[in-house]
Amino acid sequence: MNTSTYLPQGASQWIGLACAVAACFAAAGIGSLYTTPAIPTWYASLHKPAWTPPAWLFGPVWTLLYLSMAIAVWLVWRERGFAAASLAITLFAVQLVLNALWSIVFFGWRRPDLALVEIFFLWAAIFATMLSFWRVSHTAAWLMWPYLMWVTFAGFLNLAIWRLNR
């Protein structure tokens, strides 16, 4: 570790965690602005595959995933600081924006076709984030694994919904 690099100490570590949690749940909030109104109306009217999870499951799963993502980016920041982990933190921010954008495209614009293209970029950004996290903290990379798996599942669900409703 380079001692000339600023690394957070004491209370600033917890402020950093709070900021990471706030950023992740801000993305969740933006997505939910488009998702929540569409669930009982448009989404309920779509043909979905038999293996579609019940609607009530998505909230708890996403809550855990956003919390896990926040802890992951916090671990990277805590280990290296912003300057030394700028690529990893930037990739994390990109995937977080793409995460919120998927909800806008799928639920807000009601475009499963475009959302399918967008989720490919989201998946790639999550994978790139995990690789960059791995170089800093294996724990942080592993904390992103359930998220990548859920987005993989969501991609297949997105594909099935698009195919059933075109």
Name the residue among 152, 154, 162 with its Cα closest to residue 113: 162
Burial of 137 (0-12, 13-18, 19+ CB in 10 A): buried
* Tens digit of each residue's pLDDT, the chain (166 residues): 444 455 566 778 889 999 999 999 999 999 999 999 999 999 999 999 999 999 899 999 999 999 999 999 999 999 998 889 999 999 999 999 999 999 999 999 999 999 999 999 999 999 999 999 999 999 999 999 999 999 999 999 999 999 999 9
